[in-house]
């Protein structure tokens, strides 16, 4: 099976699995599935940045996500980050470690956690589900559009130091195609008014682009092409959720403020 076939098969299986989990699973099984995704992403992150005493970081992540499955709350993230910092300081006493690598891990852990929290907090309502689905669809359409537009007419690099393949023209194409998808989704599920949907859609798509760049920056820093190998043809879990781990929390937080 060639690489393209692997990507298509993996994407189809993932979409079916995620749809079944998101639409049909109720509490506490839904939160348990969300916690398992978060744990897998956290362990992948530990291995990506090569944190020393990786088993201890993973055990701390396990405790964090078990607590999340029982009672999702932002205070857990603070405790989890504190636990990781304690491990970093203890390890650095006898064997100096890179704080840049550790900070990259904490940065990504924070976004993964708030992403999971946003999904957990919105899952119980139709409007909340519509918000998340619309945000994810917009980011995925934007990502595809940015690729094809950039390939066709991309001339000006967006951020070559982090991701040389992305262009300004591609980003604008992503906005052009992604925003209407979010607006249409949110109007269909009666999530918000037209004006609010347009404003939030633009911010959500842009946040997705920054999420993609954020994960790319971490991979470039540690010299990795993919965050992992768990998904054939797609790399790791973080490679698949890189854009939405920033877009979904931004959409959720701004929507909650209205």
Place of tokens 């403020």: 257
Largest CA distance in the chain: 58
Kindly state the tokens that stand for 25: 């699973």
CB proximity list for 21: less than 8 A, separation 6 or greater: 30, 33
SS3 call for 17: helix
Rg from Cα positions in the chain: 18
Instruction: With a cut of 90, say whether residue 230 has pLDDT above it.
Output: no
| Cα–Cα dist 148/104, whole Å | 30
Give the CA count within 13 Å in the CB-facing half-sphere of 37: 24
Average pLDDT, the chain: 90
Question: Quick one: pLDDT at residue 233?
Answer: 57
CA distance 235 to 222: 16
pLDDT of residue 208: 96
- The tens digit of pLDDT for each residue in 15-24 reads 788 778 887 8
CA–CA distance, 149 with 155 (Å, rounded to integer) = 10
Question: Higher pLDDT residue, 240 or 254?
Answer: 254
Sign of CA dihedral 113, 232, 54, 39: positive
Instruction: With cut-offs at 50, 70 and 90, classify the pLDDT of residue 7.
Output: low
DSSP assignments along 195-238, one per residue? HHHHHHHHHHHHHHHHHHHHHHHHHHHHT-SSS-SSBTTTB-HH
- Determine the 3-state secondary structure of 245 from DSSP: helix
Report the DSSP pairing between strands 157-159 and 163-167: antiparallel
- For tokens 């993996």, name the residue: 10
As a whole number, mean pLDDT of residues 15-36 equals: 85
Positions of E strands within 35-160: 157-159
- 228 pLDDT band (50/70/90 cuts)? confident
Contact 249, 111 (CB under 8 A): yes
Beta bridge partners of 167: 157
Is residue 204's pLDDT more than 90? yes
Q: Specify the pLDDT at position 119.
A: 95
pLDDT in the model for residue 8: 67
pLDDT digits (tens, 9 = 90+) for 234-245: 578 898 888 999
The mean pLDDT value for 171-190 works out to: 96
Q: How far is CA 126 from CA 138, 214, 230, in A?
A: 18, 30, 32
**Distance separating the N- and C-terminal Cα atoms of the chain:** 48
Q: Could you tell me where the beta strands, DSSP code E, fall in the chain?
A: 157-159, 163-167
Is the separation of the CB atoms in 167 and 154 below 8 Å?
A: yes
Q: What is the mean pLDDT of residues 208-219?
A: 94
Q: Which pTM value belongs to this model?
A: 0.91
59-116 pLDDT per residue, tens: 999 999 999 999 999 999 999 999 999 999 988 877 776 888 899 999 999 999 999 9
pLDDT for 25 equals 81
Kindly state the tokens that stand for 109.
Answer: 């852990």
């Amino acid at each position: 099976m060639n690489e393209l076939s692997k990507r298509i098969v993996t994407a189809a299986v993932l979409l079916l699995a995620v749809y079944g989990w998101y639409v049909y699973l109720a509490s506490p099984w839904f939160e348990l599935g969300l916690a398992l995704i978060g744990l897998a992403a956290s362990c992948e992150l530990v291995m990506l940045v090569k944190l020393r005493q990786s088993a201890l970081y993973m055990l701390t992540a396990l405790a964090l996500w078990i607590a999340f499955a029982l009672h999702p709350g932002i205070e857990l993230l603070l405790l989890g980050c504190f636990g990781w910092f304690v491990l970093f300081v203890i390890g650095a006493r006898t064997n100096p470690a890179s704080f840049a690598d550790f900070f990259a891990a904490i940065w990504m852990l924070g976004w993964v956690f708030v992403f999971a929290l946003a999904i957990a907090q919105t899952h119980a309502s139709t409007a909340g589900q519509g918000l998340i689905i619309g945000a994810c669809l917009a980011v995925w359409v934007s990502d595809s559009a940015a690729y094809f537009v950039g390939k066709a007419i991309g001339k000006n690099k967006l951020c070559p130091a982090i991701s040389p393949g992305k262009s300004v023209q591609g980003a604008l194409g992503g906005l052009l195609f992604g925003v209407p998808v979010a607006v249409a989704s949110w109007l269909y599920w009666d999530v918000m008014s037209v004006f609010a949907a347009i404003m939030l859609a633009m911010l959500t798509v842009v946040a997705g682009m920054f999420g993609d760049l954020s994960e790319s920056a971490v991979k470039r820093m540690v010299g990795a092409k993919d965050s992992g190998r768990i998904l054939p043809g797609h790399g790791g879990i973080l490679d698949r959720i890189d854009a939405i781990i920033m877009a979904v929390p931004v959409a959720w937080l701004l929507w909650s403020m209205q």
